[in-house]
Amino acid sequence: MPKHAAQLSPVTPLSRRQFLGVGLRGAAAVALGSMVPIAPALAANAFDLALQGQDLIQRKSYREAVAVLEQAVFLDATSDWAFGLLGRAYFGMGRLPAAVTAFRAALRINPGDTYSRMMVDMITQRPLPGAHGSSRPLTAREKAARREAEDFRRRLKADGGLGYRVSRVVIDAGHGGFDSGAVGAGGLQEKAVTLALAQRIHAQLARDGRVKAFMTRTGDYYVPLSARTVIANQHRADLFISIHINASTNRKAGGLETYFCSETASSKEAEKVAATENAVLRFDAGHASAPGQLDLEDMLFKLEQKNNWKESGRFAAVFQDRMKAALPLRNRGVQSANFFVLRKAKMPSILLETGFISHPDEEALLRRPDVLDGISAAVVKGVA
């Protein structure tokens, strides 16, 4: 028996058949009023356990992460995310056979899991401990695999982790059609500025050629908030950017802000901005579930939302830095709030508030083509 086989945890992940069997026994207990025994661990929440395990991995507490993630996959044997995290924890401990098993379980659930496939290839192309005599010389293929693995680790270290690369972006011009958005004292409409910016960003990215760009609207017409996110999801974008212009009853308020989505707002002011942008939902048909209706889509999205929102916060910081360095406008920083247009995105997503149309000086700036070019260039730098 290989040395690592003895180290495997006694907790064996449920097969899909076993997992469904547990669920059926629980349903039967409720329906019949019987006391069908169910494992005490089932009272826990698999998603929260996986999040806890992810945090432990980031702190390099791999042994504790394994203990938590084994419970997560026991509770939900259909979570490729939890199995992938378990593989990472095993790998961090040096338990390579167990890591391969966990990564392969993730791939059986989700064949498109490229990270788990890469890890399986990387581990299995190297001689596993105990599989061969330590004195056996490496084959040419094993040497090449070892060089690739070492190069991969160097790149990870230089990148600070698994760097997120943007190859497809969807640019959303806020408002449109009957929804003019905010209107300045001089008559400038938010919908016109956001479209002009989106068109410039799209054109600059097309000229650059490194990132494929798409737009949610290309003219002066209204697109429901929910449809904007659907467009981003359909294009399988790596990043979704919604462009807006801020406004305030305080005519002296001005500057640049970048937002990302969160359950709770980072400030009362951020909450008001989100409420303003979400107000157009009254024109969207069917965006909310009927009372008492189970929203399965929302339940599924929650499995990936927190990761996307965390990544969105990083993107927001990058974009805010680019814009404040390039533009003569006050830096209002990065904020978060519950924006409906960002909430359903299956990728990192941000919302840019590029100046205040209610500020007379900034309204004048937003009329100038050179200022719009500068904003667009700063956004393109953030993307590329």
Give CA separation, 197 vs 95, 253, 341, in Å: 51, 21, 18
| CATH code, domain carrying 98 | 1.25.40.10
Residue 149 has pLDDT above 90, yes or no: no
Residue 37 has pLDDT above 70, yes or no: no
- Token pair belonging to 197: 């910016």
183: domain range? 168-383
Residue 33 has pLDDT above 60, yes or no: no
346-364 pLDDT per residue, tens: 888 889 999 999 999 999 9
pLDDT of residue 144: 73
Both 365 and 295 in one domain: the answer is yes
Both 104 and 212 in one domain: the answer is no
What value does the CA radius of gyration of the chain take, rounded to a whole number of Å?
25
Residue 152 lies in a domain: no
Residue 150 lies in a domain: no
Both 9 and 124 in one domain: the answer is yes
pLDDT band at 294 (very low <50, low <70, confident <90, very high): very low
Interacting residues of 249 by C-beta distance below 8 A, sequence separation 6+: 358
DSSP 172-208: EE--BTTB---B-TT--BHHHHHHHHHHHHHHHHHHH
Both 13 and 90 in one domain: the answer is yes
Both 176 and 101 in one domain: the answer is no
Mean pLDDT within 179-184: 92
Report the C-alpha gap between 42 and 27 in whole angstroms: 13
- 187-196, 258-267, 317-326 — most confident range: 187-196
Both 338 and 237 in one domain: the answer is yes
pLDDT of residue 3: 42
Longest C-alpha distance within the chain, in Å? 81
Query: Taking the CA of residue 130 as centre, how many other CA atoms within 13 Å lie in the half-sphere pointing to its CB?
Result: 11
Residue 7 lies in a domain: yes
Total length of the chain? 384
Please list, residue by residue across 331-348, b when 16 or more beta carbons sit within 10 angstroms of its beta carbon and e when fewer do: ebebbbbbbbbbbbbbbb
85-96 pLDDT per residue, tens: 999 999 999 898
- Token pair belonging to 136: 């056996």
Closest CA relative to residue 243, chosen from 258, 262, 227: 258
How many domains does the structure of the chain reveal? 2
Residue 155 lies in a domain: no
Report the C-alpha gap between 347 and 214 in whole angstroms: 15
pLDDT of residue 165: 73
Q: Is 29 exposed, middle or buried (0-12, 13-18, 19+ CB in 10 A)?
A: middle
Both 34 and 124 in one domain: the answer is yes
Report the C-alpha gap between 114 and 125 in whole angstroms: 16
Report the C-alpha gap between 302 and 223 in whole angstroms: 24
Both 355 and 224 in one domain: the answer is yes
Residue 323 lies in a domain: yes
Both 108 and 217 in one domain: the answer is no
CA angle 139, 145, 151 (to 5 degrees): 140
Report the C-alpha gap between 194 and 188 in whole angstroms: 11
Q: Residue 13 in contact with residue 105, Cβ under 8 Å?
A: yes
| CATH code, domain carrying 177 | 3.40.630.40
First to last CA, the chain: 50
For 323, other C-beta atoms within 10 Å of its C-beta total 25
Residue 278 has pLDDT above 70, yes or no: no
Residue 324 lies in a domain: yes
Both 196 and 126 in one domain: the answer is no
- Token pair belonging to 23: 């669920």
Both 90 and 224 in one domain: the answer is no
Residue 211 lies in a domain: yes
Q: Residue 357 in contact with residue 245, Cβ under 8 Å?
A: yes
Q: Residue 102 in contact with residue 120, Cβ under 8 Å?
A: no
Please state, rounded to an integer, the average pLDDT across all residues of the chain.
76
- State the pairing for strand pair 256-261/349-356: antiparallel
pLDDT of residue 155: 58
Give CA separation, 194 vs 14, 40, 48, 203, 208, in Å: 51, 54, 38, 14, 21
Q: To which residue do tokens 């392969």 refer?
A: 104
Torsion of CA 90, 42, 81, 92, to 10 degrees: -10
Both 101 and 208 in one domain: the answer is no
Residue 160 lies in a domain: no
